[in-house]
Structure formats: C-alpha cells, structure tokens
Amino acid sequence: MFIDTHSHIYSEDFIHDRDEALQRAYESGIKRIVLPNIDSGSIKHMLDLTDAYPQMCFPLIGLHPTSVEEDYHEELEAIDYWLQRRKFYGIGEIGIDLYWESKYEKEQKEAFRYQIHLAKKLNLPVVVHVRNSFEETYKIVSEEQDGTLKGIFHCFTGTKEEAEKITELGFFLGIGGVVTFKNSKLDEVLTGIDPHSLVLETDSPYLAPVPKRGKRNESSYLVHVAQKVAEVYRLPLTRIAEITTTNARNLFGI
C-alpha cells in the first residue's frame, strides 16, 4: 500500500477521466491520496471529490503562495471559514514561491506565517511549497518551530545540506517524480538521508516520473517514484512502501 501525499487530481486536467484515474491509482496500490488546496477557487472541486471518495481522498486547506496578491486577507478569511465547517487533515499547500516574481514576497511571508499559526493552533501538519526561496522559507519555519510544528517540504529537490536542515526541524521530505530524472542528482542527495524522513508524492498533474515524463502525471505513477527510491536505498519496494506509508499515516492521521 502507498499513500500519495500530494495530488491535485481534483483539477480540470482530469475532467474527462477522473474516476478512471482514481481506479488506476487504487489498482496500483495507492489507497490514500492527500489533496492540497490552491486557493478559494479550488475548494469546491476538492471537497466534491472528497465527498465522492471519502475513503480514498483526504483534503487539506491552504493558500498557495502563487495565489497570494493584494487581496490575500480575503483568501485567508476563506480558509478560516472552511476550517470551522469541515474536517481537514492539514494546512497546505502554503509557502513561498519567488520563481515567477517577487512582487508579493512580503505578502507571501505574511500569509505563510499566518497559516503556520493556524496549523499550530489546530495541531495540524503543514505542506510547504518552496521554489527559489529555501532560505526565506526555512527561516520562517525554524522561527516558528516550537516543538509542535510538523509537516512536509513538498517536492524536495535541494541539496544534502538543505535536506539535513529540514529533517533536523522534524519535517519530512516530499519525494516525487524528480528523483527519477536523469540529471536531477536527487538520488545522490538521498543516499545520505534516512529513508524514515521521506514521504512519497506525485504532485499530479505535474512532474510525471520516468518513464511517463512529459505526460500528465497521476497518482498511479507513484509506483515509479517508489521503485526509484527503493533502488537508491537498496531496499525491497515493500519496505519503502511500509516506511513511507507509516510516515504519511502518522502525519495526517489517515
């Protein structure tokens, strides 16, 4: 059994075959899928999918950093509203993204810290998005870590030093399709990291692993990620499944 700890399978990319994609995932051994939110516009689609597949899909609530603009306070109000009305299994996807532009860097940091406070108040894990922003993101997380903060640095593609910093904070590394890319060097980084610090993810519909690279990603492809991780650690696939599934279950309570 595997858990895909990060999938946007509720997105329009799956509008024509969502049920079939979920069936393929289940048949591939992916029995739980965690659904991070993007912003107020994605909440209904995510919750509709959760209601249709309550034993398989588990929603998070959060404001993605690339959706942070001048009106981010209104977006955060929507997060507060839903947290009072539905059960969520974490706060995410949140963080800092300076890849496209840094116009709203200040607002991103404020929204990130606010949502971390929500997570600590509600004893929920966070799923952290980092892109061209490791130092900025790490600074906030380390400042907020009081022993109660927990979560995942999603789509980890950094250095061994960054991996060690993250795990020392008590966070997991979210490992996805990038680990299968020939030139990523992520496999070399992982050799120095305890596999008990990992969870597996797809980030569907993005970053499909080899041999599906270039195609729309889906949760069933998590098996390819797991196979590569098993090769890196020279462990049986069943052992990687056991370790990462236990980590995800304990973190999200699923």
Q: What is the DSSP string of 11-46?
A: SGGGTTTHHHHHHHHHHTTEEEEEE---STTTHHHH
Nearest residue to 208 (alpha-carbon basis) of 238, 186, 176: 176
pLDDT band at 203 (very low <50, low <70, confident <90, very high): very high
Which pLDDT does position 100 carry in this prediction? 85
- pLDDT-derived band at 162, boundaries 50, 70, 90: very high
Distance (Å, rounded) from C-alpha 246 to C-alpha 159? 25
Does the pTM exceed 0.95? Answer: yes
Q: What is the average pLDDT value for the chain, to the nearest integer?
A: 97
Q: Which of 252, 247, 208 is nearest to 228 (CA)?
A: 208
pLDDT (tens digit per residue) in 100-146: 889 999 999 999 999 999 999 999 999 999 999 999 999 999 999 99
CA distances from 221 to 25, 71, 112, 204, 206 (A): 8, 36, 30, 9, 11
Question: How distant is the alpha carbon of residue 71 from its chain centre?
Answer: 24
Is pLDDT at 27 greater than 90 in this prediction? yes
Burial letters 223-253, b for 16+ CB under 10 A, else e: bbbbebbbebbeeeeeebbebbbebbeebbe
pLDDT-derived band at 213 (thresholds 50, 70, 90) equals very high
Tens of pLDDT, residue by residue over 63-75, are 999 999 999 999 9
Taking the domains of the chain in order of start, what are their residue ranges?
A: 2-252
Judge: domain 2-252, CATH 3.90.1150.10. Answer: no
- How confident is the model at residue 87, as a pLDDT? 98
Predicted confidence at residue 42, as pLDDT, reads 98
pLDDT value of position 101: 82
Whether 251 contacts 152, CB under 8 Å: yes
pLDDT score of 247: 98
Summarised one tens digit per residue, pLDDT across range 78-98 is 999 999 999 999 999 999 999
The angle formed by the CA atoms of residues 10, 11 and 16, to the nearest 5 degrees, is 90
Q: How far is CA 11 from CA 180, 214, 234, in A?
A: 24, 18, 35
State the average pLDDT over residues 244-251: 98
Percentage of the chain exceeding pLDDT 90: 99
